[in-house]
Amino acid sequence: MRLHLLALLAKEPAHGYELKQALEQTFGAAYPSPNIGQIYVTLARLEKDGLVRAVDVEQSNRPNKKVYYLTATGREALTTWVEEPTEGPRVRDEFYMKLVLAPLTGIADRMALISRQRRHYLGLMRELNEVMERSESTVARLLVEGAMLHLQADLDWLERCQEELC
Amino acid sequence: MLKAHNLVKIYAASGVPVHAVRGLDLEIEAGEFVAIMGPSGSGKSTLIHMLGGLDPRTSGEIWLDGKRVDTLSESGWALLRRKKVGFVFQGFNLVANMTVADNVELPALLAGTSPREARERREQLLDKLSLSDRAEASPGQLSGGEQQRVALARALANRPALLLADEPTGNLDSRNTRDVLRLLGEVHRGGQTIVMVTHDARVAALADRVVSLLDGEIVDDGRIPRRKIAGAGEVIDLR
Ligand SMILES: Nc1ncnc2c1ncn2[C@@H]1O[C@H](COP(=O)(O)OP(=O)(O)OP(=O)(O)O)[C@@H](O)[C@H]1O
Ligand SMILES: [Mg+2]
């Protein structure tokens, strides 16, 4: 979450609760609803690492609140994050290891492994369908759609494995 | 509702016999939604055509609503389909010289539905599939995705007890697929039985059960696991 918070702070200084709201508004149903405690912990670490700094803002009849802003080092870290290429979601595949190795052990045959995995992926796809129905923002829908396309590719690949190995 | 016992299809036209379906057993309950998956050439179309009486079986039995139907004549099948089976073909099979509206209304009219009712149902279906403005077009003027949705509307026009569909979303983009998913969801909740061949996991995921074919045989037949989830965070891992 570190870099997500840095990105939001690059837009404007904010306190913890505002960051939580900004995440919710931007990502809608697509984002695992951020926990406020986790946001404060992350902000404290970012401050310790010199990526953000906090100023105390006095409030009339409440305790002071901390408003965070991005430092030059923070902006640099953010730029590096944005500019570096991003790893695809499945560079390593544990299922593939099972598929290749399990038959050697006699624990399970490939057909059974593939069938079980297919049902599991379809179960995930059903959940994505449900999330999609509940997603109102374009940002959220695109995220879900991306996940669906990946899952479809995984299923197509299972079919290839079945054709070649079973 | 629908039952196949030791169903076999051997194509022999070209000299070398092709075993497209090899002794397959399948039992589908009323109201169930079954997805049929499998690689190209595994026998999915052959199976669903046999289940709809569109391609004769080589041997084995097919039972529909407690009656044996594999022994029916072509006209017997035609009558049965009119009454209770909707079929979506992989290649659409729309009537080329009729408008979209007439294509969709025809099966209902043939089944004896009043013209007014057939028309209302047609309007509803085309609306749900975002096709209302194409009602007066002819199939030749439609994109592949549009023709595919018209074929689905036509198959549902009669509110068939059994919907058999062969790749009904193969040509659709995401938005149109969502329309189709919603409509299929409604049809399923309404209690109609659905047997659908599909490569599209979004569609298959709506099913209660998935049957996987490989080389004309069933290699898996089981329910799709269902969890209760609270939010997207449990499904998608954002870093
Ligand atoms: N009319 C036919 N004459 C001869 N062989 C046929 C005929 N129709 C299908 N086949 C063969 O039967 C096998 C199963 O074909 P089928 O069309 O049922 O596959 P499928 O699973 O629907 O594939 P796809 O995903 O490509 O639609 C294939 O080997 C195919 O070549
Ligand atoms: Mg086919």
Separation between Cα atoms, residue A44 and residue A122, nearest integer Å: 40
Could B232 and A119 be called an inter-chain contact, meaning their C-beta atoms sit closer than 8 Å?
A: no
Residues of A in contact with B217 (CB under 8 A): none
C-alpha distances out from residue A107 to A75, A100, A104, A121, A161, Å: 52, 12, 8, 22, 18
CB B151 within 8 A of CB B131: no
Supply the residue whose CA is at minimum distance from atom 6 of ligand 1. B11
Could A123 and B205 be called an inter-chain contact, meaning their C-beta atoms sit closer than 8 Å?
A: yes
Could B174 and A145 be called an inter-chain contact, meaning their C-beta atoms sit closer than 8 Å?
A: yes
Smallest Cα distance from B202 to chain A, Å: 6
> How high is the mean pLDDT of chain A?
88
Each residue's pLDDT tens digit, B123-182: 999 999 999 999 999 999 999 899 999 999 999 998 999 999 999 988 888 888 888 999
What pLDDT is recorded for position B213? 97
As for ligand 1, residues whose beta carbon falls within 6 Å of it are B 11, 13-14, 18, 20, 38, 40-46, 90
Residues of B in contact with A38 (CB under 8 A): none
What pLDDT is recorded for position B115? 94
Q: Is A33 on the interface with B (CB under 8 A)?
A: yes
Q: How far is the CA of B43 from the centre of ligand 1 (A)?
A: 6
What pLDDT is recorded for position A131? 86
Could you give all domains of chain B from N- to C-terminal order, each with its CATH number? Answer: 30-57+66-236 (3.40.50.300)
- Indicate which ligand has the atom closest to the C-alpha of B20: 1
Q: How far is the CA of B19 from the centre of ligand 1 (A)?
A: 9
Q: How far is the CA of B162 from the centre of ligand 2 (A)?
A: 19
Could A162 and B181 be called an inter-chain contact, meaning their C-beta atoms sit closer than 8 Å?
A: no
Separation between Cα atoms, residue B182 and residue A129, nearest integer Å: 10
Separation between Cα atoms, residue A14 and residue A12, nearest integer Å: 6
Report chain B (239 residues): mean pLDDT per 10 consecutive residues: 96 88 97 96 96 95 96 93 91 91 93 93 95 94 92 94 93 86 93 96 95 97 81 62
Q: How far is the CA of B40 from the centre of ligand 2 (A)?
A: 7
Each residue's pLDDT tens digit, A28-84: 776 777 789 999 999 999 999 999 999 988 888 888 889 999 999 999 999 998 888
Smallest Cα distance from A108 to chain B, Å: 15
Separation between Cα atoms, residue B224 and residue B227, nearest integer Å: 10
Could B201 and A32 be called an inter-chain contact, meaning their C-beta atoms sit closer than 8 Å?
A: no
Q: Report the candidate in A127, A124, A120, A126 with the shortest Cα–Cα distance to residue A98.
A: A120
Separation between Cα atoms, residue B180 and residue B169, nearest integer Å: 8
Residue A44 CB coordination number (10 Å): 15
Number of A/B CB contacts below 8 angstroms equals 105
| Structural Rg of chain B based on CA atoms | 18
A2-83: CATH, from 1.10.10.10, 1.20.1440.130, 3.40.50.11600, 2.40.30.160: 1.10.10.10
Q: How far is the CA of B38 from the centre of ligand 2 (A)?
A: 10
Each residue's pLDDT tens digit, A99-134: 888 887 777 889 999 999 999 999 999 999 988 888
Phi-psi map region of B232: left, alpha, beta (phi>0 left; psi -120 to 50 alpha): alpha
Beta sheet of B193-197, edge-to-edge order:
B85-88, B162-166, B193-197, B33-37, B209-214, B217-223
What pLDDT is recorded for position A91? 54
Q: Report the candidate in B170, B173, B235 with the shortest Cα–Cα distance to residue B204.
A: B170
Q: Is A56 on the interface with B (CB under 8 A)?
A: no
Record the pTM: 0.86
Separation between Cα atoms, residue B208 and residue A121, nearest integer Å: 14
In three state form, how does the secondary structure of chain B look? CEEEEEEEEEECCCCCCEEEEEEEEEEECCCCEEEEECCCCCCHHHHHHHHCCCCCCCEEEEEECCEECCCCCHHHHHHHHHHHEEEECCCCCCCCCCCHHHHHHHHHHHCCCCHHHHHHHHHHHHHHCCCHHHCCCCHHHCCHHHHHHHHHHHHHCCCCCEEEEECCCCCCCHHHHHHHHHHHHHHHHCCCEEEEECCCHHHHCCCCEEEEEECCEEEEEEECCCCCCCCHHHCCCCC
Smallest Cα distance from B44 to chain A, Å: 14
Q: Is A138 on the interface with B (CB under 8 A)?
A: no
